[in-house]
Amino acid sequence: MGLNDGSLRAWALPVGPASQWPFHPALVAGIHLRWELKREHGLPWGGFYVLTRPCTVPESPGLEGQPPPEFLWDALAGVQMPLALPVVDADYPASAAIEVPQGLSPQQAAQAYGLARVTGGMKDGLASGFGDLHAVLAELVHGGPKQGPMTAREWPAKASSDGDADAPSLAAQSLLDLALLGVAFPEYAQLIGLYAIDTDANWPLTKDYLVVADCDTAFQCDPAKVVAWANAGQVHDPPPKKGPESLAIELTQVSRGNRRKPAPSG
């Protein structure tokens, strides 16, 4: 496990009252974090984790003459982790993080899990179309990692129902592409686990963020294991030769929007 080779990318964007767009529902103020994996990796079977820690640098205001804080990673507050796809399936290891209360179907529990992390004005629209998304996600994770990469999984082609060769038909579609179709919208990206917001960003410290993709379910849906791994300094260990077991990327952001050089890890 180690810092990735470019397979995982992440961005941090400060959002405040002056950052709102006139044709988009108001966004929650804070540091908005979004990330993506290269398509050939699909989406991690163990979900994503987001860690944060304070990071002092000489330019940080208000800290002159004070002892530096301990640079320890912790899970991003207010976000349930892992950030997994909102689907409950025995073949999808990350769905172990989704509780299915008595009286709810697995799909209803998955919808509640996914929508709980959505902010903004699109939640009702996402709820109304969740059944179609859940059907795509269930097919995407069916069979688990042993069934091959997510990139090879397809929604089957559909021929015309009346047998007319000239009638419209639907070609096979990539299930991964269908799942990622709406990620340009922050609320949809939140729903499927590719976006989080740090609302505790109004302080004089620079922050480091660490986004971890648990590709091989090494952390078993346990954020405490990710935190221990990061604080043990293993983030910078060389990755396995056979491919990424977990991918991580570190970025630094100040609540005012000024970027700083990251503090040393470990």
Please list, residue by residue across 162-195, b when 16 or more beta carbons sit within 10 angstroms of its beta carbon and e when fewer do: eeeeeeeeeeeebbbebbbebbebbbbbbbbbbb
Q: What is the pTM of this model?
A: 0.81
What is the band of 255 on the pLDDT scale with cuts at 50, 70, 90?
A: very low
Same domain, 260 and 237: yes
Looking at 157, 182, 207, which one is the last position of a domain?
Answer: 182
In a domain, 187, yes or no: no
Is the confidence at residue 264, as pLDDT, over 90? no
Note down the domain range covering 121: 85-182
In a domain, 80, yes or no: no
Is the confidence at residue 135, as pLDDT, over 60? yes
Same domain, 176 and 96: yes
Same domain, 201 and 147: no
Average pLDDT estimate for 128-132:
95
Query: How far is the CA of 169 from the CAs of 10, 49, 135, 174, in angstroms?
Result: 38, 40, 20, 16
What is the band of 166 on the pLDDT scale with cuts at 50, 70, 90?
A: low
Same domain, 96 and 51: no
* Nearest C-alpha neighbor of 60 from the set 265, 264, 259: 259
Task: Yes or no: say if 54 and 206 are a contact pair by the CB < 8 Å rule.
Answer: yes
- Give me the number of domains the chain comprises: 2
Q: Which residue has the higher pLDDT, 197 or 28?
A: 197
In a domain, 240, yes or no: yes
Question: What confidence tens digit (pLDDT) does each residue in 183-196 have?
Answer: 999 999 999 999 99
Q: Whole-angstrom distance between the N-terminal and C-terminal Cα of the chain?
A: 14
Same domain, 150 and 94: yes
What is the band of 111 on the pLDDT scale with cuts at 50, 70, 90?
A: very high
Same domain, 210 and 238: yes
Same domain, 60 and 93: no
In a domain, 79, yes or no: no
Same domain, 226 and 247: yes
Looking at 160, 182, 204, which one is the last position of a domain?
Answer: 182
Average pLDDT estimate for 129-134:
95
Is the confidence at residue 163, as pLDDT, over 80? no
Question: What confidence tens digit (pLDDT) does each residue in 54-95 have?
Answer: 775 545 555 555 555 567 899 999 999 999 999 999 999 999
Task: Yes or no: say if 219 and 49 are a contact pair by the CB < 8 Å rule.
Answer: yes
In a domain, 130, yes or no: yes
Same domain, 9 and 97: no
Is the confidence at residue 43, as pLDDT, over 50? yes
In a domain, 78, yes or no: no
Looking at 182, 214, 249, which one is the last position of a domain?
Answer: 182
In a domain, 71, yes or no: no
In a domain, 116, yes or no: yes
The chain-wide mean pLDDT, for the chain, equals: 80
What per-residue confidence (pLDDT) applies to 238?
A: 43
What is the band of 232 on the pLDDT scale with cuts at 50, 70, 90?
A: confident
What per-residue confidence (pLDDT) applies to 85?
A: 97
How many angstroms from the chain centroid is the CA of residue 47? 7
What per-residue confidence (pLDDT) applies to 34?
A: 93
